[in-house]
Structure 1
Amino acid sequence: MLMIKNYVYYISFFFLFFMSLFNFLMFIFFINNNLVFFYEWELITLNSVNLVFSILFDWVSLLFLSFVFLISSVVIYYSKGYMSSELNINRFVFLVLLFVLSMMFLIISPNIISILLGWDGLGLISYCLVIYYHNEKSYNAGMLTALSNRIGDVCIMMVIAWMLNYGSWNYIYYLQFMNNDISMSYIMGLIILAAMTKSAQIPFSAWLPAAMAAPTPVSSLVHSSTLVTAGVYLMIRFNLLLLNSFFFKILLIFSSLTMFMAGIAANYEFDLKKIIALSTLSQLGLMMSILSMGFYDLALFHLLTHAMFKALLFMSAGAIIHILSSNQDIRYMGGMSTFVPMISMNFLISNMSLCGIPFLSGFYSKDLILEVVSMSNLNVMIFFLYYLSTGLTMYYTIRLIFYLMINDFNLMSVYNFFEDYIMLKGMFVLLTMALISGSMLNWLMFLNPYYIYLSLNLKLMVFYVSFMGMMMGYLVSNMNIYSLNKFIFTYKLSNFFFFMWYMPNLSVYGLNYYFLNFSYNLLKMIDCGWSEFYSSYSFSMVLKNYSKFYFFFHINNFKIYLFSFFIMMIIFMFMFILNLN
């Protein structure tokens, strides 16, 4: 059995790793020669509508596939150490492979039918992975994840129905010359709504932190390059249709607010995996907002660099959780840099890349996005939301580093600290990519570089807000967070930020609590109340009283017979005396 487990690991790892290398080489070939390959198999022709299976290979799909395969291979290899005590490990590996297959369908599909196949597959398998640990919390999180993503699935189905007007579901045919068509405007709104659900934008943000109930290797795959990036990738594919539309202005507001909200909520959170999940949510808001301005290449650039350092960050956090016996509360951690230096190095480098420290991969994409935003013709609110969110990223990162690495060791009992070399080997692959992927993609993707001209203060604005965020993170980590909250905010306002603007309550209690409470009162007052009293309860009481009477008659049968005979004799005697007279 052990040999079978090892074979499953190694075959999956080597296959995905070599597929990643092959796709990357094909990406270089395609982008240098400006090639696009389009394959199509006709399955069914129905009423002048062709149901076809289509595959599109261009440099975008090949590059994204390469990154997805690389991260998936490393995650499977990492799982060999992290999930070593798991009994049903083959089931876990097959679920991860199905997840990657669904993402592959989504990436290479220029057809909305085959996109639905990958899109719905992601939602279904993510539910199976979130409920992998069988407990009530996992079930609740899985149901919230599945039902939130079902909204996007329904939107894709409605897009399929609307595209019947065009005779084919290959949407790439209609992106440029159907911009002003009324049907295409409906399709546009549905695509944006579907992307907002899958990428967890406001008001669908509650499911992303809840999905942390899944095993950490799954989290590193889901929250870096697969499930949550599916909405961003769909918008990148539809970007020609969506340019200069009213829906993009709405998306810009919602995605900017998502970025700001997640940055604030991460500073109030103490669960290590939820902090990183909220960081992912903030970066997704950054990608969607820059995409809504029309810069789809910058969104793709940040999507790919973010995938590398975020997968590494999740793996490092998972290794720390693993050695602390599944403890995720950062208040019980500390001094990790002394006990596990290699894991701490990976954690620090991925965090610094997230913050945009110069010459790490996150710097090339985040700095370019912020400078393009500074050059754009935007209002003050969007401008401030961008830079405040950048400062908040530095804020919660420094807070996290202090709690985990610099502050004293806070656990009450002694744990066996160790570094699993299988997990470290997987992390070192992503560490290399977190260091070089930003500069590498900068040279490969932007054949014509952006020319950015800014004043000195605007150029240094990123430095200003990062320094302020660093100081706030230092102050919070060295003070009592509750006293600081009471000093800056009121208690209610702190709860408002901590609970993500009450979005989890709206997504759960707002949709089912009042309806279930009304149903409970209806059951109590009608079914078990008046209806029960006037129908079954009253009928049963009548039968019960009759049964009591008959039972009384039955157990006193002889006495009643003698008594009735005596009464009858008295009556007969009385009648006889009357007749004599």
Structure 2
Amino acid sequence: MLKSLSICLVYFIFLFSVAMMLIWLGFYFISWDLVYFVEWEVVTLNSTSIVMTFLFDWMSLIFMGFVLFISSLVIFYSQEYMGGDLNINRFISLVLMFVLSMMFLIISPNLISILLGWDGLGLVSYLLVIYYQNVKSYNAGMLTALSNRIGDVALLLAIAWMMNFGSWNYIYYLEVGKSSLAMSVIGVLVVLAAMTKSAQIPFSSWLPAAMAAPTPVSALVHSSTLVTAGVYLLIRFNVLLTGNWLGNFLLLIAGLTMFMSGLGANFEFDLKKIIALSTLSQLGLMMSILAMGLPVLAFFHLLTHALFKALLFMCAGAVIHNMKDAQDIRFMGGLVNQMPLTAVCFNLSNLALCGMPFLAGFYSKDLMLEMVSLSYMNGLSFILYYFSTGLTVCYSFRLIYYSMSGHFNSASLHPLNDEGWVMLRGMLGLMVAAVLGGSLLSWVLFPTPTMICLPLFLKTLALTVSVLGAWVGYELAKLALNFELQSIKSHLCTSFVGSMWFMPFISTYGVVNWPLQWGGYVVKSFDQGWSEYCGGQGSFKIFSQWSRFNQGWQNNDLKTYLVGFFLWVIILLIMAFL
């Protein structure tokens, strides 16, 4: 136990110090407008050289710093959360492999090296989702892995298509080839890959299923690693999205994802799944802003969201840990009296998610919504933006009502307390970042204030929608019994909205009933049937028989020659008599 604690502490100190150095370097690079390409020649054979290229600019350095900062606090937090686990060293190793894969992805201007990080994330995420070994975890892991394989295949096809350009360093060809057909095909494939990794419609069902992983992993995955990989890749490829049908398509899909997940979170009672659906909503927001041609703003929200979402998951983990692994918010209530420090962190991160003024989320979300109001866009996208913002505040206040206020709804003899100082230290470190991070980043990324001129109605629309959403969420939670009775009366509609528009069923039953059954028939009749008979095994059997027969003739055996001689004599006699 003590050995695992010391290992966690060493990793925390190392990752935290590297993170601070990288963030400082990122700020230095942005102030001096520096970009470094580092090329490492791995091997040279004749005139062919294999070169590993790394891209260090302000974006990659700041993002790497944030990933390492959050992962260091997650490992520190895991000392206590995973303290009873006999395999904590294996857990820490998997988390470090996960972070290393993300590092590869961030600093790669080359599609081949991106695939290393991309597939590393997919493989290690599968191992982390099935970490608690039970049937539910296995099913969730398989759904996660298979959904992400679609994106991996798209990335492999993009690598094959990039051969038209003579190099896989995509960063050289984006501006030049954005009007060419070849680059448009690569854009479509990269968007498909990003949609699977960032769980946009119709690949959304794996994200809530991945909640089977331990909570520290969820904090890392949903803040800065796995799900943000798709957004980061599209930020790099943003040139291909502006002024064409691909950007409009992504805007529609991202807006629908944002709306669907916000609506579904209002019908969910699992604490971790509510937070997972809020991540999905924020990913939709980042993708849609990116589709509008504002990559720096999408990156800004990516960073601020990482801070408060990691804190939100850590607080949820502390609550679940104290409630002896109960995740249903209906069993909670009055936690503000039992766990005051955790409740402060939880409420603060929830308010940052809602865009409460002067917290981290406010600086990015308010600017994004004002840019939406200022932009030239269709009515559907505009409604989806603001309605989804209202839904975010709605489910956040519903969650606060159920978990923090009122009476405690579980057993009277309960172990709830705030004495887990290791977990609390990790949470308090992130709480400071969630309060100050937004303002600090906005000063660095946008040194010149953006000029936004809007009428009073549009200027106050974000605030109005947020207040209205908070009121609706609180009232619905207060009228919980009546609301649930109405839900039972309109069961079909409720099950449609509350189950992510039936996407989990389509992703599981829809795949099992037809494609997998037909695949089984094909395997039995072809791979294990005719192709075995006519292919390798059948040929081996026939040739073995002929070979044995031939070998027998070739042996210097008198009996064989005598039998052959007498056979020839008999044949000759018969022919003579005829």
Give the conservation status (yes or no) of the 8 Å contact 1:102–1:121: yes
The CA deviation at 1:46 is 8.9
Choose 404-413 or 295-304, whichever is displaced more: 404-413
Q: Distance in 2 between matches of 1:497 and 1:368?
A: 29
Give the conservation status (yes or no) of the 8 Å contact 1:485–1:491: no
Q: Distance in 2 between matches of 1:424 and 1:219?
A: 17
Give the conservation status (yes or no) of the 8 Å contact 1:333–1:404: yes
The CA deviation at 1:48 is 8.7
SS of the residue corresponding to residue 432 of structure 1 reads helix
Give the conservation status (yes or no) of the 8 Å contact 1:335–1:407: yes
SS of the residue corresponding to residue 226 of structure 2 reads coil
Q: Distance in 1 between matches of 2:35 and 2:520?
A: 59
Equivalent residue, structure 2, for 1:94: 93
Give the conservation status (yes or no) of the 8 Å contact 1:49–1:164: no
Equivalent residue, structure 1, for 2:455: 455
Equivalent residue, structure 1, for 2:407: 408
Aligned pairs for 1:424-573 within 5 A: 424-481=424-481, 483=483, 486=486, 490-515=490-515
2:314 corresponds to 1:309? no
Equivalent residue, structure 2, for 1:560: none
Q: Distance in 2 between matches of 1:488 and 1:468?
A: 25
Q: Distance in 2 between matches of 1:383 and 1:50?
A: 50
2:214 corresponds to 1:219? no
Give the conservation status (yes or no) of the 8 Å contact 1:51–1:169: no
Equivalent residue, structure 1, for 2:161: 162
Give the conservation status (yes or no) of the 8 Å contact 1:224–1:306: yes
The CA deviation at 1:24 is 1.2
Q: Distance in 1 between matches of 2:175 and 2:187?
A: 13
Q: Which amino acid aligns with 2:38?
A: Y
SS of the residue corresponding to residue 358 of structure 1 reads coil
Equivalent residue, structure 2, for 1:289: 288
The CA deviation at 1:475 is 1.4
The CA deviation at 1:519 is 8.0
Equivalent residue, structure 1, for 2:272: 273
Give the conservation status (yes or no) of the 8 Å contact 2:331–2:408: yes
Q: Distance in 2 between matches of 1:394 and 1:108?
A: 35
Q: Distance in 1 between matches of 2:320 and 2:24?
A: 36
Give the conservation status (yes or no) of the 8 Å contact 2:257–2:281: yes
Choose 412-421 or 430-439, whichever is displaced more: 412-421
Q: Distance in 2 between matches of 1:251 and 1:49?
A: 39
SS of the residue corresponding to residue 176 of structure 2 reads coil
- Tell me the alpha carbon deviations over residues 56-100 of structure 1, each in whole angstroms, 9 at most, x when there is no partner: 100000110110010000000000010010000000000000000
Choose 510-519 or 166-175, whichever is displaced more: 510-519
Equivalent residue, structure 2, for 1:149: 148
Q: Distance in 2 between matches of 1:516 and 1:287?
A: 34
Q: 1:13 to 1:506 in 2, by over 3 A?
A: same
Q: Distance in 1 between matches of 2:434 and 2:348?
A: 8
The CA deviation at 1:465 is 1.1
Equivalent residue, structure 2, for 1:362: 361
Q: 1:265 to 1:451 in 2, by over 3 A?
A: same
- TM-score normalised to structure 2 length: 0.88
Equivalent residue, structure 2, for 1:537: none
Give the conservation status (yes or no) of the 8 Å contact 1:321–1:328: yes
Equivalent residue, structure 2, for 1:567: none
Q: 1:131 to 1:48 in 2, by over 3 A?
A: same
Give the conservation status (yes or no) of the 8 Å contact 1:49–1:167: no
Q: 1:516 to 1:66 in 2, by over 3 A?
A: closer
Q: 1:458 to 1:83 in 2, by over 3 A?
A: same
- Tell me the alpha carbon deviations over residues 201-254 of structure 1, each in whole angstroms, 9 at most, x when there is no partner: 000000000000000000000000000000000001111233222111100000
Equivalent residue, structure 1, for 2:130: 131
Q: 1:482 to 1:31 in 2, by over 3 A?
A: same
SS of the residue corresponding to residue 223 of structure 1 reads helix
Q: Distance in 2 between matches of 1:313 and 1:189?
A: 34
- Tell me the alpha carbon deviations over residues 426-483 of structure 1, each in whole angstroms, 9 at most, x when there is no partner: 0011000000000000000013321101100111111221122112111111113564
2:229 corresponds to 1:246? no
Equivalent residue, structure 1, for 2:108: 109
Q: 1:132 to 1:33 in 2, by over 3 A?
A: same
Equivalent residue, structure 2, for 1:549: none
Give the conservation status (yes or no) of the 8 Å contact 2:476–2:483: no
Q: 1:464 to 1:42 in 2, by over 3 A?
A: same
Q: 1:369 to 1:406 in 2, by over 3 A?
A: same
For structure 2, the residue ranges without an aligned partner over 5 or more in a row are 525-578
2:63 corresponds to 1:72? no
Equivalent residue, structure 2, for 1:33: 32
Q: 1:374 to 1:53 in 2, by over 3 A?
A: same
Aligned pairs for 1:147-226 within 5 A: 147-226=146-225
Equivalent residue, structure 2, for 1:258: 257
Q: Distance in 1 between matches of 2:515 and 2:487?
A: 39
Q: Distance in 2 between matches of 1:102 and 1:378?
A: 37
- Tell me the alpha carbon deviations over residues 160-197 of structure 1, each in whole angstroms, 9 at most, x when there is no partner: 10111111111111011111111111000000000000
Q: Distance in 2 between matches of 1:230 and 1:160?
A: 17
**Highest Rg: 1 or 2?**
1
Q: Distance in 1 between matches of 2:519 and 2:196?
A: 28
Q: Distance in 2 between matches of 1:49 and 1:393?
A: 54
SS of the residue corresponding to residue 318 of structure 2 reads helix
Q: Which amino acid aligns with 1:456?
A: L
Q: 1:455 to 1:189 in 2, by over 3 A?
A: same
SS of the residue corresponding to residue 41 of structure 2 reads strand
Q: Which amino acid aligns with 1:38?
A: F
The CA deviation at 1:333 is 0.5
Equivalent residue, structure 1, for 2:323: 324
Q: Distance in 2 between matches of 1:235 and 1:522?
A: 37
- Tell me the alpha carbon deviations over residues 346-393 of structure 1, each in whole angstroms, 9 at most, x when there is no partner: 000000000001000100000000000001111111001000000000
Q: Which amino acid aligns with 1:444?
A: V
Q: 1:363 to 1:493 in 2, by over 3 A?
A: same
Q: Distance in 2 between matches of 1:31 and 1:478?
A: 48
Equivalent residue, structure 1, for 2:574: none
Q: Distance in 1 between matches of 2:285 and 2:438?
A: 17
Q: Distance in 2 between matches of 1:408 and 1:3?
A: 38
Give the conservation status (yes or no) of the 8 Å contact 1:50–1:168: no
Q: Which amino acid aligns with 1:391?
A: G
Give the conservation status (yes or no) of the 8 Å contact 1:346–1:431: yes
- TM-score normalised to structure 1 length: 0.87
- Tell me the alpha carbon deviations over residues 316-345 of structure 1, each in whole angstroms, 9 at most, x when there is no partner: 000000000000000000110000000000
The CA deviation at 1:413 is 4.5
Q: Distance in 2 between matches of 1:523 and 1:310?
A: 44
The CA deviation at 1:510 is 1.1
The CA deviation at 1:523 is 12
Q: 1:40 to 1:477 in 2, by over 3 A?
A: same
Q: Which amino acid aligns with 1:460?
A: T
Q: 1:412 to 1:514 in 2, by over 3 A?
A: farther
Give the conservation status (yes or no) of the 8 Å contact 1:209–1:274: yes
CA RMSD of aligned residues (A): 1.9
Q: 1:398 to 1:105 in 2, by over 3 A?
A: same
Q: 1:519 to 1:58 in 2, by over 3 A?
A: closer
Q: Distance in 2 between matches of 1:226 and 1:482?
A: 40
The CA deviation at 1:27 is 1.0
Aligned pairs for 1:320-359 within 5 A: 320-359=319-358
Q: Distance in 2 between matches of 1:7 and 1:111?
A: 37
The CA deviation at 1:484 is 5.5
Q: Which amino acid aligns with 2:30?
A: I
